[in-house]
Amino acid sequence: MGVTLTILSLIVLIPLTAVALKAAHQSPEAFWAAAFNDRSLAAYRLTFGAAFVAAAVNGVFGVLTAWALVRYEFPGKTIVNALVDLPFALPTAVAGIALATLYAPKGWVGQFLTPLGIKAAYNPIGVVIALTFIGLPFVVRTIEPVLRDAAEDVEEAAASLGADRLQTIARVVLPALAPAWLTGFAMAFARGVGEYGSVIFIAGNMPYKSEIAPLLIIIQLEQFEYERAATIAVVMLAVSFTMLLVINAIQAWSRRFD
């Protein structure tokens, strides 16, 4: 117990306090100017927007993947199942250079997008692609156990009462999955907001256009603007805490129906 608290304080709590203190080490005006100038606002918009879109994409394909893994038998299922966790196991920098190469204008995928007028790499779309890669397992792995535990007899009951398959899915299955789906979405979103390694290679990192908030922290740090770096970090930490509270609230809410 004592050991746990000591280590927790040394590794997590005290260093986190340092950021807050550093950010507070300037006038409120300076804090405001560092936190919410045009460049940082553009970075937040991109970071949160791309993380939201990527989490939504994963929200759709993550449910389908979890559904296929739990309900269907198909050849190669074990491999597919293992593969879903690849983003957890693959270093983000590796994912970053691989995606940047694939979606570059002359890359394997990029060459098909260019004639369509779509510029994927070095563009906000690239950020969404990287965050989709990073976020997928969060959605699949939160929905999967709930789907596995969901009693199929409830679906049978719905069917025997005359509901067709689509009605059963929409009125019985999806509502039961909603808390897990929201949790997975929130976790993918939270991870996406903080993600750095996989994004910077494909994003192009143009200020006001394709520059994410974590990169902005690094840029401030390289210019020895410690207060400004800490300020952006505080804004991002505030969002992280909020997401953590939201996830806990969703889980507490879902347990009420147990």
Binding to other proteins in span 33-62, by CB under 8 A: 61
| Binding segment (CB under 8 A) for other proteins, from list 33-41, 83-91, 120-128, 203-211 | 83-91
Q: Rg for the chain (alpha carbons), in Å?
A: 21
Q: Which of 34, 120, 185, 195 binds other proteins (CB under 8 A)?
A: 195
- 122: tokens are 């070095």
Residues 6+ apart with CB under 8 A from 158: 167, 168, 171, 172
Between 30 and 83, CB nearer to other proteins: 83
Per rule CB under 8 A, is residue 15 in the interface with other proteins?
Answer: yes
- 81: tokens are 């199942």
- 105-144: contacts with other proteins (CB under 8 A): 108-109, 132-133, 136-138, 141-142, 144
Backbone angles phi, psi at 123, to 5 degrees: -160, 160
Comparing C-alpha atoms, which of 226, 224, 53 is closest to residue 128? 53
Angstrom CA distances, 153 to 70, 72, 108, 157, stand at 15, 17, 46, 6
Cα angle at 81 between 170 and 71, to 5 degrees?
A: 35
Shortest gap between Cβ of 40 and other proteins (angstroms)? 14
Residue 157 · residue 15 · CB < 8 Å = no
Shortest gap between Cβ of 194 and other proteins (angstroms)? 3
Q: Which of 28, 91, 115, 117 binds other proteins (CB under 8 A)?
A: 91
Residues 6+ apart with CB under 8 A from 26: 34, 227, 231
Quick one: which H or E segment has residue 191? Answer: helix 174-194
SS3 category, 195: coil
Shortest gap between Cβ of 8 and other proteins (angstroms)? 6
- 197-256: contacts with other proteins (CB under 8 A): 197, 201, 213-215, 217-218, 221, 224, 226, 229-230, 233, 236-237, 240-241, 243-244, 248
Shortest gap between Cβ of 29 and other proteins (angstroms)? 22
- 155-194: contacts with other proteins (CB under 8 A): 155-156, 158-160, 165, 168, 183-184, 187, 190-191, 193-194
Between 18 and 170, CB nearer to other proteins: 18
Instruction: Give dist(CA 258, CA 249) in Å, integer.
Output: 15
Size of site (CB under 8 A) for other proteins: 93
Between 124 and 184, CB nearer to other proteins: 184
Shortest gap between Cβ of 12 and other proteins (angstroms)? 6
Shortest gap between Cβ of 210 and other proteins (angstroms)? 17
How is residue 75 annotated by DSSP? T
Q: Which of 35, 48, 70, 196 binds other proteins (CB under 8 A)?
A: 196
